[in-house]
Amino acid sequence: MIRPTSRRELIRKFRGLGFDGPYAGSRHQFMIKGHLKVRIPNPHQSDIGEGLLKEILRQAKISVDKWMKA
């Protein structure tokens, strides 16, 4: 089961999965792995919700199982 997560935890797990960054973009920061570029939500007070997290993982081609083990 996937749960909401903090932006800091999202970045930590992405780095553990081989992504570099985050790098500054025009409106959002992004992380890179090879030719794959994934936007990272801007920092805010609450956690990244389940729906947005699933969309980010889909764009990053990361399965929920792989995310949970990271």
- Residue 37 DSSP class: E
19-32 mean pLDDT: 93
Contacts of 57 (CB under 8 A, 6+ apart): 2, 63, 64, 67
- Any idea of the CA torsion for 53, 41, 32, 8, to the nearest 10 degrees? -80
CB distance 7 to 18 below 8 Å? no
Assess whether pLDDT exceeds 90 at residue 51: yes
pTM of the model: 0.91
Share of residues in the chain with pLDDT > 70 (%): 100
Alpha-carbon gap, residue 44 to 42, rounded angstroms? 6
Q: What is residue 37's predicted lDDT score, i.e. its pLDDT?
A: 95
Q: What is residue 16's predicted lDDT score, i.e. its pLDDT?
A: 95
Which domains are present in the chain?
A: 7-69 (3.30.920.30)
